[in-house]
Structures are given as structure tokens and as C-alpha cells.
Amino acid sequence: MQTKEYYQKVVELSASNQPLWQACIIHTDGSSPARIGMKLLIPLLGAIYGNLGGGELEHKIIEFVREQRPAQPQQLSFDLGSGELGNSKETSMICGGSATVFIEALYNPNQLFIIGAGHCGKALGHLAKLCGFWVHLVDNRQDILDASSEESFQMRQLNDFSAISQALSFGPHAWIVIMTHGHLHDKEVLQQCLNQDFRYLGMIGSRHKVSETFDLLRKQGYSDDLLQKVHAPIGLPIGSQQPYEIAISIMAELIRELRLKEQ
């Protein structure tokens, strides 16, 4: 594996912020097929790239990453037949040594999906990028997306709001903010998100509009427990009116949600 080719692959695989991890051998002792500095790229799906010496060691690392999906760096030690297990993970290898692997995510797990690329959506995207979120801007209007500045997104996508799952990657790190043009599709998008896995789900709108939307959803069989997971009206109450003021109130709520759960 050539170093230049490896890092070109890192750039290629990480361009769309799909789940991707790097595993690197940082220590070996005794006899081992692994060598310090060996690296392996592990996407959640698809082919791996690089190598850690092959065999059971490599298989166990791939299995660990794809099952645990670690968001924080991890250091794992493996016994390769030395007989000195200690805190190391056991293998059936008979090389007689041990190896330590450092695993880190090469993507931003905090993906913010902004459903609606109007003035408020663009302002929120701008602030969210500055605050370290990976921003995916979604709208059903091509001209509005074309007019969006790159300061407001890492990815933008034209998508019909009736099939929003085609644009979202649901999961424990998905942050979703619903603010479609004129609120015309807010309820439609919300319905498709409620039974999914997410870290945060918020919807813009006045208290009256939110209450009206929730009443309609209750009549359709959605439970209060489910609706209580929705942050609506979205944002902290700071009297915001202009797009960036509204974006600041929403961004403050996102930061509070992110940091308080880290403690």
C-alpha cells in the first residue's frame, strides 16, 4: 500500500461524510503479522482499504468498528498467542505476540439535516458549520438550492418532501430541523421522522401552529410520548425575528442539547 494512494482514498471516502474509521497499529510486542504504522480504512458498508497484517486480528477490528461504531477514539490491545492476556482481547492466533490498535472516526458524526433552504435555513446552516456540525441542506426547489452559498452547507440535495428518508441518514447522531417554505410540508416531513432514530428533532413554527399540527397527528394515532420527543417551537425564547436571530436561537438550543448530554 502506497502512502499517497492511502491518503487519496481517505479523501475520497470521507468526501460525503459517510461513517468511516481508521485503525492504526501503534504498538507490537513479540511475534506478530502486524507492524507499527499499518493502517486500515473501515467504512460502515463496502470494501475496506489498507491492511493490519490480515487474519483474525484484522477481522476482529473490522467487526468491532462496525458493531460499536465508536464516535470517540479507542485503543484496543490484542493477545496473539503470548499467553499474557491482561486487558488484551483474546484471539486464537498462535504468533506469540501482541498488538495495540488505535481507532478513530474520520467523519463528523453530528450531522445536521436542515429541511428547508430558505433564509432561516441558510442562516442556521452557516452558524452550524461554524459550530462544528456537518450540514446537509435539503429542499424541493432547485433554484433555492442553487442560490445557496457554500458557507451554509457541506452538502445540498434536491428532494421531494414526501420521500424525505431518501435525503436523511437516521441514527443516534442525526440532528433534524424542519423549516419548509411557508410551513407547507412541515407536518408531512415530521410524520416521516417520528418513528425513526435521531439525536434531535425540531420543527419551527408558532405555538399555535405547533399545537395545531400536534392535534392533527394525535388524531392520526401518534402518541404524546412520541410527540414529546420533538423540540417545537424550536429555539430558545430570545424574541428573535430576523433570519440570523432565529438561527441563533435554534443554534443555542442545539448546542445546549449537545453539551449537556456530553456531561
What are the DSSP calls for 76-97, one per residue? EEEEEB-S--TTSEE----SSE
Q: Which of 58-72, 84-98, 202-216, 219-233 has the lowest mean pLDDT?
A: 84-98
Residue 132: is its pLDDT beyond 50?
yes
Report which of residues 253 and 45 the model is more confident about.
Answer: 253
Report which of residues 80 and 14 the model is more confident about.
Answer: 14
SS3 123: helix
SS3 145: helix
Please report the pLDDT score of residue 34 as a whole number.
80
Q: CA 255, 258, 260, 263 torsion: positive or negative?
A: negative
Please report the pLDDT score of residue 86 as a whole number.
43
What is the pLDDT averaged over residues 41-60? Answer: 88
Band of residue 53 on the pLDDT scale cut at 50, 70, 90: confident
How many percent of the chain have pLDDT more than 70?
A: 92
Q: For residue 14, which phi and psi values (nearest 5 degrees)?
A: -95, -5
How many whole angstroms separate alpha carbon 195 and alpha carbon 171? 11
Strand partners, 137: 114, 156
In the chain, where the domains are located: 14-105, 111-260
The domain 111-260 belongs to what CATH superfamily? NAD(P)-binding Rossmann-like Domain (3.40.50.720)
Cβ neighbours around 242 below 10 Å, total? 11
Residue 127: is its pLDDT beyond 80?
yes
Residue 1: is its pLDDT beyond 70?
no
Copy the grid coordinates of residue 96. Answer: 506469540
Residue spans of alpha helices (H) in 142-184: 142-146
How many percent of the chain have pLDDT more than 90?
A: 70
What is the pLDDT averaged over residues 171-191? Answer: 92
Radius of gyration of the chain (CA): 23
Cβ neighbours around 8 below 10 Å, total? 11
Please report the pLDDT score of residue 92 as a whole number.
56
Q: Which of 14-23, 31-40, 210-219 has the lowest mean pLDDT?
A: 31-40
What is the pLDDT averaged over residues 111-115? Answer: 97
